[in-house]
Chains A and B, each alone.
Chain A
């Protein structure tokens, strides 16, 4: 209970720098065994580096295959003329990232010296690579390594010399952000990569810089991110930070769904039908349900609310039973809405209160229903996109989307399972434990196969499910079991006294769980959940086996089957390894930072 906040400024500054000679003596040759280790590991390092370089620059490796297929790798067959949608989506994401940085006041505390050392290190590695690169390396590339290496080392030395007390001086976050953005944009604008692509099925190659249709939007993205970060910081000084954070969390939960299903997919609404069926139905659930909940949320009506809730549960179940036997037709989203209103009615006594609280409760339902129906209508409407192969998602976009939605969808499931597993009720415990242990006992690939092959067989007649949706369902079911275990760790860290205090105050079980136990448990589980997010992101590569066109599938089978790049597997595989590495590594670094911050004290 005695967490102490450590203000950033009070953390110990980095140690004084020592002279390079002394550093080498102390760290590399302090004793005989140390010297032997230095020799051994330099040999290992050089050998490995040389081997990897030999693989990358081998004679057969044709890196044009990667450069030409960049668009395929990132967005698969997304139609070129609609590409503005991709950029819009990316803009929305960058905006959210910038705003979130501001809302959580990210400050990684990087000193000038650390940046200098990192630059010098990169330069040195670049020089070594240039030196030991195999003979098959193109001479331009080798020269490039030398130029970059010398340039970086010189820059680093200059920075370390010019800036006084580099180990004390910190670079503000905005500086880092702008620096990274500047480097990326500068490289895109001025570095002569050449411009590659497909024209009428044949690869084209031009020397020069990358086409501005790529570099311009990327630059705009970064400007948006920096702009929203600055705006967010300014806003944070004026308004409550908690409110900004809640807004951002809301955006991260809902926003991506809209990007994928409404922006990228571009549903072709049949407005006549939408106005005749979808809008009235959505309005009926939103308004009718809101009114009902407003009435039920009066404290004196708690018994009535329970009775009506139970009746609504029965009604919702009946709709599904009816669907099973095919008694009467009903839109699937109506069935879901009935189930949701039943749950909300059961929760009404828990969240009941004064007029303001009741209005908030009903209003929350209203907003939720509007979003829910809008999204489902969008998902159920055919897409306008003219795409050669059916899935409109592919490549990196697919990888990221699946990982994101799997985490998002398995979260509530995982919370429920972990609560059931730690509950005092034996049947719940047994059911949850069985589920978790069975799912964790089998490999992901069998679960994915099972869902992609078997799910259609389990569905009642007439109900279909797309391949990608089946895989997504299987992955969610799988991920929920791991999520449950991660959250269980957090639940076990909540002390018994917290439960007792909540009970003694008269909170109900639902209130105790929602207000006291889960917030504390989730905070403890954050590092584990980030770890799971990284694992989920990496394991999306298994989708390649069950038929999705993700990064791996494109690199391993699409590109090597193109007539111009027959059998070219290694370059693309190396490239996607790099993509996976960059994303996973930055996530793990970020989570380590977060962990340190959480350990340092109750973050605020």
Chain B
């Protein structure tokens, strides 16, 4: 069994591969951010990526929808290889949603326009249909009354929920979360995590970079611990929080818990 498929239950192992990374390497100038990462995310799996800052966890998920271009190795998303092929990039991006640490809402558009922009112009939906869907999503994340406000008028937690709704509006098969709660005030973290938990229960395939250990313990199917651009350890939450195998993992967990 390869590193990538460690700690999978029988049932999970039989599921489809949604994200496959094999030997992914990436340099920024002299600095090697990814040193041959092997990870597989199965269908409907929630994978939480842990690691100290600079360990390459953000770079990894940014490579998965080509916000960064990996230099070696291969990334296959739902059977489509990430390469220079325009069609593949378009296909993967429309199937993978992403939520950023800094929300990155479009400040010049209303909440509703933020959500409907991509469905209308990328998925080519009719505006009425897209707006109905957007309102439905806003209900789901709990802020339908903010639809006509501008992002600048919302709190951080509300903005991040809008950002999640914006990604969901594209009906993605996979959601990537890049430290979604790190820029939030403590009292707003739970409202965002609740939305994410809902998503996970609904069977979304998710890859989450976070420092929220409670979330990881409760929701994650598997955890990945990265350091210096390498995957150190993959395991179930139970395995991680009770009996990690590697010294480095123990050290990291002792610092963070």
Contacts and interface: CB of A to CB of B under 8 A. Distances in A.
A and B in direct contact, judged by CB atoms within 8 A: yes
Interface of A: 1-5, 299, 350-357, 495, 497-498, 500-508, 511, 515-516, 519-520, 523, 601-602, 604
Contacts of B228: none
B103 A507 contact: no
Contact of B121 (A1, A3, A511): A511
Which 7 A-B pairs give the minimum distances between C-beta atoms? A501-B104, A497-B104, A505-B118, A504-B98, A3-B152, A506-B93, A354-B126
A216 B203 CA distance: 75
Contacts of B163: 501
B122 A505 contact: yes
14 contacts: A1-B102, A354-B125, A357-B120, A495-B104, A500-B100, A501-B98, A503-B93, A505-B117, A506-B93, A506-B122, A506-B170, A507-B117, A515-B121, A516-B106
Given A5-B153, A299-B124, A519 B108 contact: yes
Contacts of A508: 122
A200 B65 CA distance: 79
A354 B123 CA distance: 10
Interface string B55-97: 0000000000111000000000000000000000010011011
B54 interface: no
Given A5-B153, A500-B100, A602-B150, A505 B108 contact: no
Given A501-B105, A503-B93, A507-B117, 6 more contacts: A504-B93, A507-B118, A523-B108, A601-B152, A602-B107, A602-B153
Contacts of A353: 120-121, 124-126
B121 A2 contact: no
Interface centre among B107, B124, B152, B167 (most CB of A within 10 A): B124
A507 B97 contact: no
B239 interface: no
A357 B126 contact: yes
B152 A4 contact: yes
Contacts of A5: 152-153
A1 B122 contact: no
| Tier of interface size on chain B | 35 or more
Contacts of A523: 108
Contacts of B100: 497, 500-501, 504
B94 A506 contact: yes
B150 A1 contact: no
B159 interface: yes
Contact of A504 (B67, B106, B151): B67
A350 B153 CA distance: 31
A523 B107 CA distance: 11
A520 B107 contact: yes
Contacts of A507: 117-118, 121-122
Given A503-B93, A505-B93, A511-B121, A604 B150 contact: yes
Contacts of B161: none
A351 B167 CA distance: 20
A1 B151 contact: yes
A535 B153 CA distance: 36
B170 A354 contact: no
A516 B65 CA distance: 19
Contacts of A497: 100, 102, 104
Contact of B159 (A1, A351, A495, A506): A1
A520 to B, nearest CB: 5
A601 B93 CA distance: 33
B108 A1 contact: no
A243 B119 CA distance: 23
Contacts of B102: 1, 497
Contacts of A352: 124
B167 A505 contact: yes
B166 interface: yes
B107 A356 contact: no
B127 interface: yes
A22 to B, nearest CB: 43
A297 to B, nearest CB: 9
A505 B170 CA distance: 8
B163 to A, nearest CB: 8
Nearest to A2: B152
A501 B125 CA distance: 20
Interface centre among A3, A353, A498 (most CB of B within 10 A): A353
Contacts of A515: 117, 121
Contacts of A354: 124-126
B85 to A, nearest CB: 14
A316 B93 CA distance: 34
Contacts of A503: 65-67, 93
A504 B97 contact: yes
Contacts of A602: 107-108, 150, 152-153
Interface string B118-160: 1011101111000000000000000000000011110000010
B106 A1 contact: no
B80 to A, nearest CB: 13
Nearest to B62: A500
Contacts of A502: 106
A500 B104 contact: yes
A356 B127 contact: yes
B93 A498 contact: no
A223 B241 CA distance: 78
Interface centre among B151, B152, B170 (most CB of A within 10 A): B152
A601 B122 CA distance: 31
Contacts of B153: 5, 602
Contacts of A511: 121-122
Nearest to A349: B124
A356 B104 CA distance: 30
Nearest to A504: B98
B126 A500 contact: no
A1 B152 contact: yes
B103 A1 contact: yes
A501 B117 CA distance: 12
B120 A504 contact: no
A498 B120 CA distance: 18
